[in-house]
Amino acid sequence: MHLDYIKPSEAKSLRGLRLALTVGVPGPWGESAKKMLEYKDIDYVAVEQHPAQANEDLVAWTGVRNAPIALYNDEAPKTNFQDIVALAERLNPNPSLVPSAWNERIICFGISNEICGEGGFGWSRRLMATSTPRQRPLSEQEIDILSKAPNLDRDTMEKAYGSSQIQAARASDRVKEILVGLKNRIRQQISLGSHYFVGESLSSCDIHWACFSNMLLPLPAELNPMPEWLRISYGDIGLIKLTDFEELLEHRDMVFEKHLKLPLDF
């Protein structure tokens, strides 16, 4: 199943909520935005953005090349994960994905920042794809598949996202640090009788992790029909052992099973 996209030139004249998403790819930032809107039953129009392309029409309209971009009526484009969460809360406050208690709200957005923010899990995993040596030789078939992937080399990454060689060198260690922190947090919550990162109910950081967890271990092809080149890239996690983070994958599976729609469509 695939989303129905319209072009930026068509979306520009529409009212309501429009969401620019990467065509054919389950980008975790975009998937997180989509899943929050679905959970809150908020309608939107999907606008096409293409990976590793100039996206000139989108830039001319929004000033932004990347996805996701949330545009509501005549308001300024929203690209930051916090702004997209805030917009979703405003458009439909219930069910809320933001804890009401001050300290829990701080923890929720702090966790999300470690997952979604600059230098966070997703950012660092993306850098690993272009900077970390592979831990196993690729087959001829895998080499052929990867040769057809969009060109996301280090120069492209640095231009598109402002990443540095220092960040690239530290990416694997940063990923492991974040995973250990998330594991310890969910273990603490389980000991208190909760299976969520904050409090006793679903919040935005749970959805962020569920979507970004595909960069640790992609969901099976029947649930996440992602391109094979991306599955190979996401599946190459260096020296990180999946068995060390089973609680995080169990959390992902629980969130999708209880709260979010599958299979992914993009």
Backbone angles phi, psi at 181, to 5 degrees: -65, -45
Backbone angles phi, psi at 237, to 5 degrees: -110, 20
Give per-residue pLDDT as tens, 183-217. Answer: 999 999 999 999 999 999 999 999 999 999 999 99
CA separation, residue 211 to residues 34, 45, 62, 115, 251 (Å)? 10, 20, 25, 10, 11
Give per-residue pLDDT as tens, 93-126. Answer: 999 999 999 999 999 999 999 999 999 999 999 8
What does the domain layout of the chain look like in residue ranges? 5-91, 102-259
Which CATH number applies to 5-91: 3.40.30.10, 2.120.10.10, 3.40.50.620, 3.30.465.10? 3.40.30.10
Average pLDDT, the chain: 92
Is the pLDDT assigned to residue 135 strictly greater than 80? Answer: no
Overall average pLDDT of the 28-44 stretch: 98
CA gap 172, 130 in Å, rounded: 11
- Tell me which amino acid residue 240 is: I
Query: What pLDDT, on a 0 to 100 scale, did the predictor assign at position 238?
Result: 83
Query: What pLDDT, on a 0 to 100 scale, did the predictor assign at position 239?
Result: 83
- CB distance 99 to 199 below 8 Å: yes
- Region of 240 (left: φ > 0; alpha: ψ -120 to 50; beta: rest) is beta
Band (233; pLDDT cuts 50, 70, 90): confident
pTM of the prediction? 0.93
Return the higher-pLDDT residue of 257 and 236. 257
Q: How would DSSP label each residue in 87-134?
A: HHHHH--SS--S-SSHHHHHHHHHHHHHHHSTTSHHHHHHHHHHHSPP
CA gap 124, 73 in Å, rounded: 33
- Pick the range with the lowest mean pLDDT from 42-56, 59-73, 161-175, 187-201: 161-175
- CB distance 205 to 221 below 8 Å: no
Query: What pLDDT, on a 0 to 100 scale, did the predictor assign at position 132?
Result: 58
CA gap 13, 227 in Å, rounded: 32
Please report, rounded to a whole number, the percentage of residues in the chain having pLDDT higher than 70: 91
